[in-house]
């Protein structure tokens, strides 16, 4: 089912992007090896909670329809013992999915997102004005504007501040990235240092300098950037954003917490699927399977809404990521109380 649904989604996606491929002409080899093959694990992971839930409902409802669950319970096996194989199986699936979303899928997303930026998205231009960045505990950068096409910043200043005291200031009319030296070249620069009883100043036409935690990547497109980072890279980037006092931390925090809540969603939905379909129904397994589909899609909608709210900053990211699991776990407990023993 994962293979079938993933194939359908990819065909629809390729149909929608066909005009873009005709215009950009990436070639069929790039489309297959850089885009489609990296898109398969992304969609397969996205569908995994629904597919596991539906598979659980399908198997358990067929067992119930053949009165096999009644026979199991009548032989003295408790309902909790009946749930144990489902719990073990879903836990193994959950661990596998966690490994995929923490390390494998982010690396495949790197190549896929790079392909989309080149062949499917419009060229990115940094439009920020009067940019303020904290690049170290006592070091602050200011730029009036930045041109990412030629990797040049305008009206640059680098200030070292301790408490309320300005210790040093380096300013320049332009800053240009030197890729061969991995450093910035400042043009028409002025460097000042401030002491208790005096100050010094030097100036010149050009100088190469290293600016801590500042490279052209900081001004590039952040399209799906959170999905291209492995767990270690994601934690490091979140700490970097927090140290700068950045305002766009929420998408990265949401991505981090979702990676930990996603495997638990597999377990919760699996057990919930057993509870829903263990009862023999007069309507037959079809009704239970349809109900399983409905609840699975409600979960996905709930998941998408809570994620959007968290990324907008209207709800704490951790609460938003765990809220669908908490709600459905509560529903599962209520349903568990109604299951015939």
pTM of the model: 0.85
Residue 285 confidence (pLDDT):
67
Determine the angle formed by the axes of helices 2-16 and 37-65, rounding to 10 degrees: 140
| pLDDT at residue 242, rounded to an integer | 85
In this prediction, residue 33 carries a pLDDT of: 94
Q: What is the mean pLDDT of residues 106-116?
A: 95
284, pLDDT greater than 80: no
pLDDT for 105 equals: 95
Mean pLDDT of the chain: 90
> Where exactly are the structural domains of the chain?
2-121+247-337, 131-216
* Overall average pLDDT of the 149-166 stretch: 93
Q: What is the arithmetic mean of pLDDT over 290-296?
A: 76
The answer on pLDDT for 94 being more than 70 is yes
Calculate mean pLDDT across residues 294-315: 82
**Cα 265 to chain centroid, rounded:** 16
* Other CB atoms within 10 Å distance of the CB of residue 41: 18
Confidence of residue 216 (pLDDT cuts 50, 70, 90): very high
Q: Is the pLDDT of residue 29 over 90?
A: yes
pLDDT (0 to 100) of residue 340: 67
Percent of the chain predicted with pLDDT > 90:
57
Please give the distance of CA 302 from its chain centroid, rounded to a whole number: 17
Q: Does 141 score more than 70 pLDDT?
A: yes
Largest CA-CA distance found in the chain, in angstroms, rounded: 92
- Amino acid 144: pLDDT: 95
Confidence grade of residue 240 (pLDDT, cut at 50, 70, 90): confident
pLDDT at res. 283: 65
Judge whether 135 and 212 are in contact, CB under 8 Å.
yes
**pLDDT of 271 above 70:** yes
Q: Give the residue, 221 or 307, on which the prediction is more confident.
A: 221
Q: In the predicted model, what is the mean pLDDT of residues 74-99?
A: 93
Pairing between β-strand 139-147 and β-strand 152-162 as defined by DSSP bridges: antiparallel
Q: Is the pLDDT of residue 87 over 80?
A: yes
């Amino acid at each position: 089912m994962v293979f079938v649904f993933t194939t359908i989604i990819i065909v629809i996606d390729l149909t929608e992007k066909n005009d873009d491929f005709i215009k950009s002409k990436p070639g069929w080899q790039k489309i297959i090896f850089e885009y489609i093959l990296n898109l398969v694990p992304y969609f397969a992971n996205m569908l995994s909670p629904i597919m596991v839930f539906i598979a659980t409902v399908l198997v358990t409802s067929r067992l119930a329809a053949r009165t096999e669950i009644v026979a199991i319970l009548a032989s003295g096996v408790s309902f909790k013992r009946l749930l144990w194989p489902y719990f073990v199986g879903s836990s193994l699936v959950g661990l596998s999915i966690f490994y995929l979303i923490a390390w494998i899928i982010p690396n495949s997303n790197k190549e896929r997102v790079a392909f989309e930026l080149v062949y499917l998205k419009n060229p990115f231009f940094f439009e920020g004005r009067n940019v303020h960045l904290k690049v170290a505990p006592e070091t602050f950068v200011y730029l009036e504007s930045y041109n990412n096409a030629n990797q040049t910043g305008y009206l640059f200043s680098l200030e070292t501040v301790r408490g309320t005291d300005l210790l040093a200031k380096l300013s320049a009319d332009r800053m240009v990235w030197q890729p061969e030296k991995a450093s910035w070249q400042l043009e028409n620069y002025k460097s000042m240092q401030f002491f208790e009883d005096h100050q010094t100043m030097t100036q010149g036409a050009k100088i190469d300098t290293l600016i801590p935690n500042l490279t052209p990547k900081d001004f590039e497109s952040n399209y799906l950037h959170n999905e291209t980072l492995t767990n270690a890279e994601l934690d490091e980037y979140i700490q970097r954003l927090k140290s700068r006092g950045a305002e766009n931390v929420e998408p990265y925090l949401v991505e981090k917490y979702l990676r930990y809540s996603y495997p638990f969603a597999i377990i919760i939905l699996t057990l919930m699927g057993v509870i829903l379909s263990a009862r023999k129904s007069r309507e037959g397994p079809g009704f239970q399977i349809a109900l399983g589909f409905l609840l699975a899609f409600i979960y996905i909608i709930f998941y998408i809404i809570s994620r959007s709210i968290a990324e907008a900053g209207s709800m704490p990211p951790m609460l938003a990521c765990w809220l669908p699991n908490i709600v459905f776990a509560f529903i599962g407990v209520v349903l568990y109380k109604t299951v015939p023993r």
